[in-house]
Amino acid sequence: MDIVLFVFDDMTALDLVGPMDIMALMPGAELKIVGQNKGPVRAGKGKRSIGVVADYALAEVDSGDVLIVPGGMGTRALIHDEAVTGWIAKIHKTTTWTTSVCTGALLLAAAGVLKDVPATTHWAAMELLEKLGAVPTSKRVVEDGKIITAAGVSSGIDMALTLAARIKGEDVARAIQLMIEYDPEPPFNSGNAGTVSPEIRKLAVELVSAR
């Protein structure tokens, strides 16, 4: 099973690495890291930046069983890049599952994949997701046919476990969850925009803007 992961400059590293680690543990999975060009990209900027290597260029991969599109600030420019959105649309036609994490949903929407489709993304990008034709849905993971979208960053782990269960069954997904010891006990009840004050939401946006 070919798992195609799209990488790009200024993506969010956890959006990629969380699902990638889960997919890599799934029996029979072959991972393909695909970028606009073959070679290194930088996930994030400044203190949050790490290098990721694309093993394939867009032109070298034209199909896949699973497509995973991470998010990050770099999506804002790529929604206008017809080479990227056209490639996503083409790959989507061949997939059994098309997925996104965080603002990766913006790229799916810009490619026409989410036209009138219920989908989720980072809470701060819901308005833009709607403008791009999707139906914003405030859930951590949203499934619609073969499309699975995840909300912000850490929810990519939930999405990938859901995907593993759909592909290989719940027992395999549960075993993978145990292997990565995914048993979160967050110290604060502030992981959802609906549970925090306007001041905390404002501070969160300021922290990202100051990066």
3-state class of 146 per DSSP?
coil
Give the count of beta carbons closer than 10 Å to the beta carbon of residue 210: 7
Query: What is the structure's pLDDT at 127?
Result: 97
Query: What is the structure's pLDDT at 18?
Result: 97
CB 184, CB 157: distance < 8 Å: no
Tokens found for residue 72: 């990050």
pLDDT tier, 85 (very low <50, low <70, confident <90, very high otherwise) = very high
Annotated catalytic, 82?
A: no
Residues facing residue 66 across a β-bridge: 3, 97
How do residues 127-170 score in pLDDT, each as one tens digit? 999 999 999 999 999 999 999 999 999 999 999 999 999 999 99
Q: What are phi and psi of 51, to 5 degrees?
A: -90, 140
Query: What is the structure's pLDDT at 48?
Result: 79
Distance CA 99, CA 108 (A): 8
User: Is residue 73 predicted with pLDDT exceeding 80?
Assistant: yes
Mean pLDDT of 114-126: 97
CATH of segment(s) 2-185: 3.40.50.880
What's the pTM value of the predicted model, to 2 decimals? Answer: 0.96
CB 104, CB 156: distance < 8 Å: no
Catalytic residue among 101, 102, 109, 141: 102
Mean pLDDT of 32-60: 95
How do residues 95-115 score in pLDDT, each as one tens digit? 999 999 999 999 999 999 999
CB 162, CB 148: distance < 8 Å: yes
Each domain of the chain, given as residue ranges in start order, spans: 2-185
Pairing mode, if any, of strands 30-35 and 2-6? Answer: parallel
3-state class of 57 per DSSP?
strand
